[in-house]
């Protein structure tokens, strides 16, 4: 069982109402209230710095897409925010409450859908949700209605009495998500909520997440699906070897980079000599394998003359494509880049 044994109802709503911190100004100049402030959060396992001095905030009514390659530190960061692991250094403050010093209060305010599905297979769908509700101290008189609401919202009302062990993988994912929402948390942490689900279940999950966002919830969302992150996230953070190497809106991150277009050559590209292009001095990055060459540039148009020469000199059939820089390109660039220090 990955979900922590959560504690009985805490009277934290007063604290939420009385918290009145100044709004941060984001990189678009908008004002939004920070629900969570993460300050220098770190976690080491022996010599491995799984999370290394990460700082950012999560705002009311936003989906923060937390991206990173396998092992970048996403789950470790989420498990510290969920108070399942103690930080080695740093802190995070949720509506005025420290994850280090006020763990019980914070637990009650956070909902987590863990990467590994954390449900009881020998309980039914409704029983799993009821069980979570009891852990969070929801009154019996309110619990049934809440469970029914959740079952409706995940489209599984008809499977309420089926054992979770008998549900499909995509259905289990949806129940795993609903179990994070029983107590109407202020901050929702979703660790790969669409991993391994079919496109229909994915759409269902994305709809639920958008609804939660529209209701003003703050959501941290990790995924390896870049298209999903691009459509869903209001802001994006990229973790690389435990460090946050970028955070902001996609537009702002694109603007910060020195390139905005991708020239892709496919076919027999192994012997291609890029010297004439390098002479222009504006090639920002080159990724190549035997069959594909990707050049990240500021303006593809500046390279068309040398490209034409290169292709005609090669005497091979080579296809040329010019594309704007996608989140996937941005991600691969920042998530793979060596982190110094
Ligand atoms: N309990 C643990 N003990 C030792 N090392 C750990 C532990 N948990 C995580 N790590 C290490 O911390 C690093 C970050 O792991 P983490 O699970 O946070 O990555 P992730 O970004 O969630 O990856 P994935 O995309 O594969 O889920 C990895 O090197 C991992 O091996
Ligand atoms: Mg993970």
CATH number at residue 83: 3.40.50.300
- For the stretch 289-323, pLDDT in tens is 778 888 888 888 888 888 888 888 877 788 899 99
User: What is the number of the ligand 1 atom nearest to the C-alpha of 72?
Assistant: 21
* Ligand 1 atom 25: residue of nearest CA: 70
- For the stretch 113-163, pLDDT in tens is 999 999 999 999 999 999 999 999 999 999 999 999 999 999 999 999 999
With a pLDDT cut of 90, the percent of the chain lying above it is: 63
User: What is the number of the ligand 1 atom nearest to the C-alpha of 73?
Assistant: 18
pLDDT at 47: 94
- For the stretch 60-90, pLDDT in tens is 999 999 999 999 999 999 999 999 999 999 9
Most confident of 14-18, 116-120, 336-340: 116-120
Domain assignment present for residue 337? The answer is no
For 65, the token pair is: 């897409």
Phi-psi region at 242: left, alpha or beta (left = phi > 0; alpha = psi -120 to 50): left
For 318, the token pair is: 């080579």
Domain assignment present for residue 222? The answer is yes
Ligand 1: residue of 44, 50, 224 to mutate (most ligand atoms within 8 A of CB) is: 50
Distance from Cα 42 to the centre of ligand 1, integer Å:
13
Confidence of residue 278 (pLDDT cuts 50, 70, 90): confident
Domain assignment present for residue 7? The answer is no
Query: Residue 254 pLDDT more than 70?
Result: yes
Query: Residue 20 pLDDT more than 90?
Result: no
Q: Domain end: 254, 272, 300, which one? A: 254
Please tell me the total count of domains within the chain.
2
Confidence of residue 336 (pLDDT cuts 50, 70, 90): confident
With a pLDDT cut of 70, the percent of the chain lying above it is: 90
**Owning domain of residue 103:** 13-254
Whether 184 and 281 share a structural domain: no
* Ligand 1 atom 11: residue of nearest CA: 50
Confidence of residue 283 (pLDDT cuts 50, 70, 90): confident
How much is the mean pLDDT over the chain? 87
Whether 108 and 22 share a structural domain: yes
Query: Residue 22 pLDDT more than 50?
Result: no
**Residues framing ligand 1 (Cβ under 6 A):** 45, 48, 50, 68, 70-76, 115
Whether 161 and 72 share a structural domain: yes
Whether 293 and 189 share a structural domain: no
Whether 227 and 265 share a structural domain: no
> In terms of pLDDT, which residue wins out, 174 or 338?
174
Among 44-48, 118-122, 283-287, where is mean pLDDT lowest?
Answer: 283-287
Domain assignment present for residue 54? The answer is yes
Domain assignment present for residue 335? The answer is no
In this structure, which ligand is nearest to the CA of 70?
Answer: 1
Among 50-54, 157-161, 214-218, 307-311, where is mean pLDDT lowest?
Answer: 307-311
User: What is the number of the ligand 1 atom nearest to the C-alpha of 224?
Assistant: 25
Record the pTM: 0.84
Whether 182 and 124 share a structural domain: yes
Distance from Cα 81 to the centre of ligand 2, integer Å:
14
Exposed e or buried b per residue across 108-137, where buried means at least 16 C-beta atoms within 10 angstroms of its C-beta: bbbbbbbbebbbeeeebbbbbbbebbebbe
Distance from Cα 131 to the centre of ligand 1, integer Å:
28
- For the stretch 136-149, pLDDT in tens is 999 999 999 999 99
Confidence of residue 341 (pLDDT cuts 50, 70, 90): low
Whether 157 and 62 share a structural domain: yes
pLDDT at 251: 86
């Amino acid at each position: 069982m990955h979900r922590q044994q959560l504690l009985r109802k805490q009277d934290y709503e007063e604290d939420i109402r009385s918290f009145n911190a100044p709004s941060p100004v984001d990189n678009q100049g908008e004002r939004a209230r920070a629900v969570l402030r993460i300050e220098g959060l770190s976690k080491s396992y022996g010599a491995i710095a799984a999370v290394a001095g990460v700082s950012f905030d999560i705002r009311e009514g936003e989906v923060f897409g937390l991206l990173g390659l396998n092992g970048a530190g996403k789950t470790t960061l989420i498990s510290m925010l969920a108070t399942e692991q103690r930080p080695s250094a740093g802190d995070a403050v949720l509506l005025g409450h420290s994850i280090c010093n006020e763990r019980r209060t914070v637990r009650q305010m956070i909902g987590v859908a863990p990467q590994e599905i954390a449900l009881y297979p020998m309980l039914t769908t409704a029983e799993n949700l009821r069980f979570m509700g009891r852990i969070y101290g929801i009154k019996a008189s309110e619990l049934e209605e809440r469970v029914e609401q959740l079952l409706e919202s995940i489209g599984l009302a008809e499977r309420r009495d089926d054992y979770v062990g008998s549900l499909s993988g995509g259905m289990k994912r949806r129940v795993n998500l609903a179990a994070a929402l029983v107590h109407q948390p202020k901050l929702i942490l979703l660790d790969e909520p669409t991993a391994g689900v079919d496109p229909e279940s994915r759409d269902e999950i994305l709809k639920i997440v958008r609804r939660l966002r529209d209701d003003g919830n703050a959501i941290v969302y990790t995924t390896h699906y870049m298209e999903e992150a691009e459509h869903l996230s209001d802001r994006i953070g990229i973790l690389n070897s435990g460090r946050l190497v970028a955070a902001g809106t996609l537009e702002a991150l694109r603007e910060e980079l020195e390139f905005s277009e991708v020239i892709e050559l496919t076919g027999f590209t192994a012997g291609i000599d890029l010297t004439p292009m390098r002479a222009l001095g504006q090639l920002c990055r080159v990724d190549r394998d035997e069959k594909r060459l990707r050049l990240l540039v500021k303006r593809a148009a500046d390279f068309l003359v040398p490209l034409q020469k290169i292709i005609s000199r090669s005497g091979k059939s080579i296809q040329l494509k010019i594309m704007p820089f996608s989140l996937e390109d941005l991600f691969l660039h920042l998530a793979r880049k060596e982190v110094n220090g």
